[in-house]
Structure 1
Amino acid sequence: MGGPLLDGDPVPSDGSLPRGTRTSSDIDFGVYLHVPFCRVRCGYCDFNTYTATELRGARQDAYADTLLQEVALSRRVLEGVGELRPISTVFFGGGTPTLLPAGDLARMLDGVREAFGIREGAEITVEANPDTVTDEMVAELRAAGVNRMSIGMQSAVPHVLAALERTHDPANVSTAVAAARRGGLDVSVDLIYGAPGESLEDWRSSVEAALALEPDHISAYALIIEDGTKLARQIRRGEVPAPDDDLQADMYELVDERLGAAGYDWYEISNFARGDDHRSRHNLAYWQGTDWWGYGPGAHSHIAGTRFWNVKHPAAYAQRLDAGLSPAHAREQPDAEAARLERVLLQSRIRSGLPLAEIAPEFRANVAGLIADGLIEPAAALREQRVVLTRTGRLLADAVVRALTE
């Protein structure tokens, strides 16, 4: 169920944005649709998700109608701060969106389309558990406008999946990819490395299995131990080993080398695509700081410099909307310095890089040292006036950010 709910400034009951807020038609607008349901909770997961026994009266079969109430509320809010913008990207995340009937996902998408319009060529992604993907479901999603599927592969090695408490059948990954392909969808697969007991050869097997599927996009995330998760408790009690930083670095170097050799370019530290057209435009929008509205329990939004986030439990979320109230729990408006620090953190992670002009003058002198240490690309810094991480720099991205901000 994720960590504790963050506090911030109160949000008016109608969800209205701070006085003086104005949106810009020059800034893209994306939509995130959170589906907070899972069959089981994976031991490493810190996302805001709920199994059937944790719903406390919230109804999974009524969820689409509940979320559409927030869509209607968001249109009223955004009408008051500028011209409504058609949507550039849509992302169904979770949880497991494909635990809902495809018709429910289609109704959510139709509601978003009716409220704002969707740009021609917009990227529309659905995350999927491999066990839930069928030809019929893909066809229904495609007919609704979905054009991309992100499949949670995680690993091809059974004992690694068991360590992560992933319950899908590894054989169903190729079945799901094939179904998505037959339905005309772009395909991404997600991998996780550094699970307890996973060796470098285990990881190599998973990378090679992912490449054999020939997806358009591969995400490869290092396992992070989040406070409050089952895995964190197991490590604290000494039941399983903590991730080995050196081994995880070797795993990153392996995946970067193998994917690069196979024609996949990194465009964010953990994300690789076969050509620019297959990059996740929705995730790039987060790293580039554009506007988005996150619908659903615990979802976060960013509109014209204001961040706000919803109550976390599906029952509380539904109760607020049924009462005609905004589901937002709190909001904040970062000041200029906080916003600049965030831009350094996010833009330094992506291939297009961080403009040197975004770095405070007192820290720009550190760029030369980062070049000397092999952490940033010298040509990009000198010719393009941008910070672009080398492979070693990607492994030490936090150290690079500290050098540019502290």
Structure 2
Amino acid sequence: MSSPAAIPVGTETSGPVLGDFGGGAFGIYVHVPFCATRCGYCDFNTYTAGELGTSASPQSWLDALRGELATAAAQFAALPTTTPEVATIFVGGGTPSLLGGDGLASVLDAVRVNFTLAADAEVTTESNPESTSPEFFERIRAAGFTRVSLGMQSAAAHVLKVLDRTHTPGRAVAAAQEARAAGFDHVNLDLIYGTPGERDSDLDASLDAVLAAGVDHVSAYSLIVEDGTALARRVRRGELPAPDDDVLAVRYERIDARLTAAGLTWYEVSNWAASEAAACRHNLGYWDGGDWLGAGPGAHSHVGGVRWWNIKHPARYADRVADGGLPAAGWETLTSDERYTERVMLAVRLRTGLPLADLDPTSAAAADRVIADGLATRSGDRLVLTDRGRLLADGVVRQLLVP
């Protein structure tokens, strides 16, 4: 990390001091905090119209976003090195598709006004299948988006009901096909497995639907019951059973086998792609320890070993931006030990693996034990998880980091 420049994030003199860019890929994440309804399992920083009332709107959010991007660009310009071209943009949420095609085009325009995009920039938006249409996909493709990620979760109606998802089971596949027809080469479908009441046949039906959609990327996540969610309250009251770890492991193996047989290869524990080009470069930037600006309420940023996170509520976020500073709620400068921990924790999840040369002596000895236990293998000069190791990835990380 270069010597930090005295660039405080936010309006307070006690704000963090940004380090220089780290030299890796630079991405921008934009957080859209709006949802039509709240899913029972979700603990993201999202709000329905009823929850916000008149305190914030998509327009006030977009105005504040423009202000944050302009302020960030000005502060980055004062760092010792030139701000890198933006390699990736990811618009997430929340439900970005609620902004409509024109709204998402305005978001991308706001980034372009303040930053230089690489010629081959990957530009992704998440979308709820129910708030998309052929015209929506055509509009955002024309605006410059290159990748779409659709929340499918399951093809089983009763599973979607437990998750409080509002889309109909077949809509995600139809939306994926509409996106492809609009010219998107890269389309992702998200799955959640292990929902209470999900049967093997339900998962198989979901995988059948994913493969029929012809997408080139699939993300599959085990259901996590987050504290404070409606789902957690139902589990606590005994209305639903908690996800079973053994069932989750079997489901993961089932997913991996089906996707692998169809030509999609895992490149991160929860992600499969049909080719190297189909992998999500934005997320790879996180996993490879790159730099990124997180814009929008509650978004997190990382530049040169300094991390900060924005005020969560859209109205208070907009007020802070109006005051002239970045809307940071808090910040930290990562120590060398913290950066090492994150490097191990993230790299070990990748198919490319963790460079053995990056390990300190204690972790290197632990790596030998992990290999002996059949959880990883040496692939050249890297430690790569085995199939069994992927099921126990968190445990592998603990072994590598805890003496």
Q: Same fold (TM over 0.5)?
A: yes
Tell me the residue number matched to 2:215: 215
Tell me the residue number matched to 1:394: 390
Number of aligned positions between the proteins: 392
How is 1:128-143 mapped onto 2 (pairs within 5 angstroms)?
128-143=127-142
* 1:360 paired to 2:356: no
**Which stretches in structure 1 are left out of the alignment for 5+ residues?**
1-9
Deviation at 1:171, TM superposition (A): 1.9
Tell me the distance in 1 between the aligned counterparts of 2:10 and 2:176: 44
Tell me the residue number matched to 2:105: 106
SS at match of 1:100: helix
Tell me the distance in 1 between the aligned counterparts of 2:14 and 2:140: 32
Tell me the residue number matched to 1:280: 280
Deviation at 1:16, TM superposition (A): 10
* 1:120 paired to 2:119: yes
Tell me the residue number matched to 2:5: none
Deviation at 1:18, TM superposition (A): 4.6
Tell me the distance in 1 between the aligned counterparts of 2:287 and 2:334: 16
Letter in 1 for 2:352: S
Alignment counterpart, residue 38 of structure 2, candidates 37, 41, 64: 41
Judged with a 3 Å threshold, the aligned counterparts in structure 2 of structure 1 residues 303 and 122 are, in CA distance, closer, same or farther, namely: same
The answer to whether the 8 A contact 1:152-1:189 is kept is yes
For normalisation by structure 1, the TM-score amounts to 0.93
The answer to whether the 8 A contact 2:174-2:213 is kept is no
Judged with a 3 Å threshold, the aligned counterparts in structure 2 of structure 1 residues 158 and 237 are, in CA distance, closer, same or farther, namely: same
* 1:403 paired to 2:402: no
Alignment counterpart, residue 63 of structure 2, candidates 47, 62, 65: 65
Letter in 2 for 1:84: T
- What do you get for the CA RMSD once the two structures are aligned? 1.6
Deviation at 1:212, TM superposition (A): 1.2
Q: Deviations over 1:183-221 (max 9, x none)?
A: 111211000001111122211211121111110100000
Tell me the distance in 1 between the aligned counterparts of 2:181 and 2:294: 30
Q: Deviations over 1:127-164 (max 9, x none)?
A: 11111111211111111100110011100000011111
Q: Deviations over 1:9-36 (max 9, x none)?
A: x954179975572225x32110001101
Tell me the residue number matched to 1:7: none
Judged with a 3 Å threshold, the aligned counterparts in structure 2 of structure 1 residues 316 and 168 are, in CA distance, closer, same or farther, namely: same
Judged with a 3 Å threshold, the aligned counterparts in structure 2 of structure 1 residues 18 and 163 are, in CA distance, closer, same or farther, namely: closer
For normalisation by structure 2, the TM-score amounts to 0.94
Tell me the residue number matched to 2:3: none
The answer to whether the 8 A contact 1:69-1:321 is kept is yes
Tell me the residue number matched to 2:381: 385
Tell me the distance in 2 between the aligned counterparts of 1:15 and 1:351: 43
Tell me the residue number matched to 2:167: 168
Tell me the residue number matched to 1:3: none
Tell me the distance in 2 between the aligned counterparts of 1:17 and 1:344: 29
Judged with a 3 Å threshold, the aligned counterparts in structure 2 of structure 1 residues 403 and 213 are, in CA distance, closer, same or farther, namely: same
SS at match of 1:92: strand
**Which stretches in structure 2 are left out of the alignment for 5+ residues?**
1-7
Letter in 2 for 1:39: A
SS at match of 1:88: strand
Tell me the distance in 2 between the aligned counterparts of 1:386 and 1:153: 34
Tell me the distance in 2 between the aligned counterparts of 1:290 and 1:78: 15
Tell me the distance in 1 between the aligned counterparts of 2:162 and 2:191: 14
Tell me the distance in 2 between the aligned counterparts of 1:128 and 1:18: 34
Tell me the distance in 2 between the aligned counterparts of 1:319 and 1:65: 11
Letter in 1 for 2:50: T
Tell me the residue number matched to 1:236: 236
* 1:50 paired to 2:16: no
Tell me the residue number matched to 1:248: 248
Tell me the distance in 1 between the aligned counterparts of 2:13 and 2:390: 39
The answer to whether the 8 A contact 1:200-1:247 is kept is no
Moved over 3 A (4+): 14-20
Tell me the residue number matched to 1:4: none
Letter in 2 for 1:289: G
Letter in 1 for 2:120: G
Deviation at 1:326, TM superposition (A): 2.2
Tell me the distance in 2 between the aligned counterparts of 1:324 and 1:49: 24
How is 1:9-28 mapped onto 2 (pairs within 5 angstroms)?
11-13=9-11, 18-19=16-17, 21-24=19-22, 26-28=23-25
